Amino acid sequence: MGTQGKPMEVTDGPVVGDAFGVMLSDCLRAGAAAGEVLEFIERDDGYIDAADAARYFAPPEEWSELERWACEQARGRVLDVGSGAGRHSLYLQDRGLDVTALDVSPLASEVCRRRGVRRTFTGSVYDLASASPEPFDTFVLFGNNLGLLGSAEETPRLLDALARLSAPSARAIGQGMDPYATESPYHREYHERNRRLGRMGGQVRIRVRHRNLATQWFDYLFATLDELRALLEPTPWRLGDHRAEGASYVAILERR
Ligand SMILES: C[S@@+](CC[C@H](N)C(=O)[O-])C[C@H]1O[C@@H](n2cnc3c(N)ncnc32)[C@H](O)[C@@H]1O
C-alpha cells in the first residue's frame, strides 16, 4: 500500500538494453563536456553510485601517470577489451599500432567508429575467439577492466579465451583496484556479504542505468594484486611487471 492507504501504482522496471552505449552516445552529443551526462551504477545490494560520463572521453593529458605508463607497454597488434568510447584505442592507433576496439555494447562500438577508431568488434572475447582472427600481441583492459575477469570461476575461462587469441609472447595489460582500501561502511559490509555468499570480497554484481534503461546484471571483479596472483595460477598467464598508484594498479600478465 502507498501513503494514505491507497494501493500503490504498479510500475514496470527499467527496460533491459544498451544503457551504457546510450549514455556514451548522449555524452558525445553533448560534446563530451564535463557535467552533462552522469553514469549511474547500481549494485545488487541497492547501493547506487554516480560519476561523470565525460571521463570515458578524457584526453591523454588528463590521464594519470599510471594510465600513461600502461599505454606505453602496448605493442604490435592490440585488442582493447571493453573499449568504451575508445579513448585508449584512439591513442594507440595514433601511435601507429594496429588496434581493434572490442565491446559488447553496440552503441559503444558506434561511438568508437564516429570518433575515428578504424577497427571495432561488437561482442565478447568469446565471440571474437570463435571467429579465429589473426593473433594479438597485446590485450589492454583499461579503466579498471581487469574487472571483466568477473569472478574466480570466470577468470580462467576469460584468460583461456585471451590465450587462444594471442601470439606466443603476448601480454595483457590490465588496470585494477584494491577493493579493500576503503573506509566506507557500505563497501565493507558488501565485502562481508560477498564472503558469506562464497564470492570474492571485491566481486561486485552491478548494472548500469541510463534514462529508463538498464544493462543486464553482471559481475565485475576488484581484486588486490595478491588475489590476482592467486587467480592466475591455473591459467596460461603469470603476473609480470606491475605498478601501483594509491589503490589503483596496472598489472602486466605474460604468457607462461
Ligand atoms: C568501465 S568501462 C571502461 C571503458 C574504457 N576501457 C575506458 O577506460 O574508457 C567498461 C566497458 O566494458 C564493456 N563491457 C562490459 N562487459 C563486457 C564484456 N563482457 N566484454 C567486453 N566488453 C564489456 C562496457 O560496455 C564498457 O564499454
Q: Judge whether 3 lies within some domain.
A: no
User: What pLDDT score was predicted for residue 11?
Assistant: 74
Euclidean distance between CA atoms 1 and 12, whole angstroms:
17
Pocket of ligand 1 (CB under 6 A): 20, 56, 81-84, 87, 102-105, 108, 124, 142-145, 148
In a domain, 237, yes or no: yes
Centre of ligand 1 to C-alpha 3, Å, is: 41
CATH of the domain at 96: 3.40.50.150
Q: How many domains does the chain have?
A: 1
Whole-angstrom Cα distance, residue 181 to residue 37? 28
Cα distance between residue 155 and residue 200, in whole Å: 12
Residue 28 counted as domain residue: no
Q: Is position 41 within any domain?
A: no
- Nearest protein Cα to ligand 1, atom 27: 84
4 CA → ligand 1 middle, Å = 45
User: pTM of the entire structure?
Assistant: 0.96
Q: Tell me: the pLDDT tens digits for 167-203?
A: 999 999 999 999 999 999 999 999 999 999 999 999 9
